[in-house]
Amino acid sequence: MNLLLSVEGVRVNYRTERGEITAVRNVSFYVDKGDILGIVGESGSGKSTLAYSVLNYIKPPGKIISGSVKLEGVGDLLKLGKEDVRKVLWKEIAIVPQATQNSMNPTMDVKDHFIDTMAAHGQNDKQKILETANRLLEEVKLDPQIVLSAYPHQLSGGMKQRVLIALSLVFEPKLLILDEPTSALDVVNQRLIMDLLKALHQKMGISIIFITHDIQLIKGFANKVLILYAGKAMELGDVNEVWNTPLNPYTIALLKSIPTLHGDVNSVSGIPGSMPDPYAEITGCPFASRCKFAKPVCFEKDPDFLEYKPGHFSACHFSKDIGDNYG
């Protein structure tokens, strides 16, 4: 089997003073070996929460209500105890968190970060650790001589991001999750990181989940894409297929809101309205109020996430019609 990770019906709620809000609504997706899956969503879409629930790492007031996350060779991560999850973290799945500017201990140098991380999983041979660190830092185009003894505040944002990517590879995990790895960086560093990741993926064959708000970053990088809206999975499929023949009105509207270099400027436009109030009870489809295809049924019944073409899923009552018209 080629299947590496399968996520079924994950639901995450947050308890706030004003009541419960649902951050992730019964999301399902899967990752094959060697995949680069892009998870795309705007602010409030629950994309980070989804990534952390894959690691069974949701802190109160958040709570995983239901679902399963099965990793090949490990089983359902959501059923594991805290200590068992700890052993899986970084060895099997590594995550580079979003706020990398502050993701390193300010009182530890880079070398200590490598030593601590590898010692946590039983690797105590300092010589070996340093060898690994040297090799990986070179891999991400950093000079180990300088970087290993540097403290986080002495590194630029782009350098910190690369250190963390190097750190995430120490055990060559099966799956690497990157949460908005470029959003805090300028364009130059963004491109550098993307090229780096592409090279690492080719060289190590590592599977990647790439979370971003910028759908344009996905094109030409990922092979599969999952599109989230208000905590709900709207569409999942091969990147080119989703791009060329989207099955979901939200995807269509999202792609239409991106200007191009040669097309007619009047054929693109933003999506009117805004994300639904997280505190409001949503009946029906969360996108219905902004959707130009919306019919009465959309406000009454939440559409299921169904496979319309092989490997191409969508959550919309009219995906079939859309598919017929577009295709």
Shortest separation between residue 212's beta carbon and other proteins, angstroms: 10
Q: How far is the CB of 225 from other proteins (least distance, A)?
A: 13
Segment interacting with other proteins (CB under 8 A) among 10-18, 28-36, 199-207, 310-318: 10-18
How many angstroms separate the CA atoms of 202 and 209, rounded?
15
Give φ, ψ of 150 to 5 degrees: -85, 150
Cα separation, 205 vs 214, in Å, equals: 24
Nearest to 207 by CA among 32, 30, 52: 32
> Which part of the chain contacts other proteins (CB under 8 A), choosing from 70-78, 136-144, 146-154, 300-308?
146-154
Alpha-carbon distance 290 to 90, whole Å?
A: 40
**CA proximity to 211, closest of 66, 72, 4, 46:** 46
Closest to other proteins by CB, 192 vs 322, is: 192
235 DSSP β-pair partners: 227, 314
**Residues 208, 193 contacting (CB under 8 angstroms):** no
Task: For residue 1, state whether it binds other proteins (rule: CB under 8 A).
Answer: no
Q: Which of residues 90-109 bind other proteins (CB under 8 A)?
A: 90-91, 94-95, 97-99, 102-109
154 binds other proteins (CB under 8 A): yes
Residue 119 gets the label, from left (phi > 0), alpha (psi -120 to 50) or beta, of alpha
238 binds other proteins (CB under 8 A): no
**Taking CB under 8 A as the rule, does residue 293 contact other proteins?**
no
Binders in 52-71 for other proteins, by CB under 8 A: 52, 55, 57-59, 62
Please pick, from the candidates 181, 237, 278, 323, the single residue that binds other proteins as defined by CB under 8 A: 278
**Residues from 164 through 193 that contact other proteins (CB under 8 A):** 164, 167, 179-180, 186-188, 191
- Please state the closest distance from residue 285 (CB atom) to other proteins, in A: 16
List the structure tokens of 302.
Answer: 């939440």
Using the contact rule CB under 8 A, the part of the chain among 31-39, 69-77, 262-270, 297-305 near other proteins is: 262-270
The closest alpha carbon to 170, from 199, 141, 140, 191, belongs to: 140
Touching other proteins, residues 294-323 (CB under 8 A): none
Near other proteins by CB under 8 A: residue from 124, 156, 244, 260:
260
Q: Which is nearer to other proteins, 57 or 309 (CB)?
A: 57
Stretch of residues binding other proteins (CB under 8 A), selected from 73-81, 138-146, 261-269, 317-325: 261-269
Q: Rule CB under 8 A: choose which of 89, 282, 285, 288 binds other proteins.
A: 89
- Residue 87 within binding range of other proteins, rule CB under 8 A: yes
Residue 145 touches other proteins, criterion: CB under 8 A:
no
- Beta bridge partners, 20, equal 15
Give the one residue of 42, 72, 172, 302 binding other proteins; rule: CB under 8 A. 42
Window 239-258: residues binding other proteins (CB under 8 A): 253-254, 257-258
Pairing of strands 175-179, 93-96: parallel
Q: Give the shortest CB-115-to-other proteins separation in angstroms.
A: 11
Q: Please report the beta strands in the chain, taking only residues with DSSP state E, as ranges in sequence order.
A: 3-16, 19-32, 36-40, 62-71, 75-76, 93-96, 175-179, 207-212, 224-229, 232-238, 306-309, 312-314
Spatial CB neighbours of 33, under 8 Å, sequence gap ≥ 6: 2, 3, 4, 174, 205, 207
Considering only 9, 15, 16, 304, the residue that binds other proteins (CB under 8 A) is 16
d(CA 134, CA 130): 6
